[in-house]
Amino acid sequence: MAKSETHNEMIEAVCDYKKGWTNLTTATQELSDIAGLSHDIAASFLKNMKRNNVTQIRGYSKEPSRLAKGKKGKPNEAKK
């Protein structure tokens, strides 16, 4: 069974928020647009998450190659 594009977009929005690449307002708006959630529900969903220590959810990494080199051979190494 293939995942829908909406599912992947939701994961991207949540991961970007957790890594600190977007702020709460932007992530809430994006999540409510993608998933059809109300603004309050999307905000409370994101507020209850910790915003650190996210390494491997998507199976790839957007980090620069200089940072990826330090993870080589460790459990949090990005899969290719």
Whole-model pTM above 0.75? no
Rg (CA), the chain: 14
pLDDT for the residue 52 = 60
Question: Is 60 part of any domain?
Answer: yes
Beta-strand runs (E) in 1-80 = none
How high is the mean pLDDT of the chain?
A: 78
Residue 35 lies in a domain: yes
Tokens 């199976």 map to which residue?
Answer: 59
The number of distinct structural domains making up the chain is 1
Residue 42 near residue 14 (C-beta atoms within 8 A): no
Is a pLDDT exceeding 80 seen at residue 61? no
24 occurs within a structural domain: yes
pLDDT-based confidence at residue 1 (cuts at 50, 70, 90): very low
| Full domain range(s) for residue 62 | 5-69
pLDDT of residue 15: 85
Instruction: Establish if 31 belongs to a structural domain.
Output: yes
Q: What is the reported pLDDT for 57? A: 58
